[in-house]
Amino acid sequence: MTDETTERKPLGPEERRERRRLRREKQRADNYARAEKMHIARLAAPDSDPQHTSSRPEQSAYVGCSGWFYWKWRGKFYPEQMATGEWFRHYADQFDTVEINASFYSWPTVANVKSWLRQPGDRQFVYTIKVCELITHIKKFEDTETLVKDFGMIADILGERMGCFLFQLPPSYRFSEERLTAILSQLDPARRNVVEFRHASWWNDTVYAAFQKTGTIFCSCSGPRLPDVLVRTSDDIYLRLHGPERWYRHDYSENELAQWADKIRSSGAKRAWVYFNNDYEGFAPKNALTMRRLLADRTAGSLLPAAAPGTEALDA
């Protein structure tokens, strides 16, 4: 007879990897079905093709983290004894925006999005949504125009809580003019679209000019082997801080953050979106709070006097 009280043997590294692989395969298979359900929901909506416009965020600087539910943040950002059900409330008490990363791995359902809408209560809170990998990593913008429209329904549901759509491409995705055209031709100009590249070949004047022409936001990155510059192609700038030498693990010093803050102020942008993705060791919320403080005197009105959109690449 099996003793039900016997503890299970801990999984070894290979078993954990295999379990993760199987979970990711299932997620990817499920994304097709989830996308189809949102497609049906979009077509069935009262205004299936509305003349939508981007929401109008009130602030000129939004600073937060890429995700908010991380076990390693317990005891560092979340009090040790705080129930996980209280974590979002604790996060939203200190930040007014978050970059939703779960939507990259698992295409959200309409119910998911409506729960995000309710989650902040009466707080002023804005979401940036990372676009599902089905578009950016599986299909890589090949014949994805309908999928992009379907995913855009999220903004219609979130309304004034909608910030940006973040399209992140894989590191192997190198620049070509054909790829640049394919991406920009499928984006809805009525949305606030941000594109993040992970290959340095995309940091070039051809890309900057095309982004400026279409009003697309080029995602500046602090990441290994990527140009350490702040690029502005619209009235909004967008910065993701992953860690300059190691992905997701760097603890930014105040001096490093002050340099980025200076570049943000000097960019001429009307609005800045800044998200910390160095979450592995729990550094993200600490660093984000420091950046908020550094930009605090610029959170109302414009970051700088109005300037025409440019294609500046400012050394950080």
Encode the chain (316 residues) as per-residue pLDDT tens digits.
444 444 556 767 676 676 777 777 788 888 999 999 999 999 998 764 444 556 777 788 999 999 999 998 999 999 999 999 999 999 999 999 999 999 999 999 999 999 999 999 999 999 999 999 999 999 999 999 999 999 999 999 999 999 999 999 999 999 999 999 999 999 999 999 999 999 999 999 999 999 999 999 999 999 889 999 999 999 999 999 998 777 878 889 999 999 999 999 999 999 999 999 977 778 999 999 999 999 985 444 445 433 334 445 555 4
Output the six-digit token pair for 204.
Answer: 């070039």
Buried b (16+ CB within 10 A) or exposed e, 276-292: bbbbeebbbbbbbbbbb
- What's the DSSP call for residue 85? G
pLDDT score for 300: 42
**Predicted TM-score (pTM) above 0.75:** yes
The Cα 310–Cα 235 span in angstroms is: 9
Tens digits of per-residue pLDDT, 31-84? 999 999 999 999 998 764 444 556 777 788 999 999 999 998 999 999 999 999
* Long-range CB contacts (within 8 A, 24+) of 145-148: 145/185, 145/186, 146/39, 147/35, 148/186, 148/187, 148/188
- What's the DSSP call for residue 169? -
- What's the DSSP call for residue 61? E
Half-sphere exposure of 132 (CA within 13 A, CB side): 26
Tens digits of per-residue pLDDT, 237-258? 999 999 877 787 888 999 999 9
Task: Walk me through the domains of the chain, giving residue ranges and CATH numbers.
Answer: 26-43+61-315 (3.20.20.410)
5 phi and psi angles, rounded to 5 deg: -90, -10
Which sign, positive or negative, has the C-alpha torsion 210, 212, 214, 218? positive
Q: Are strands 229-231 and 236-241 parallel, antiparallel or unpaired?
A: unpaired
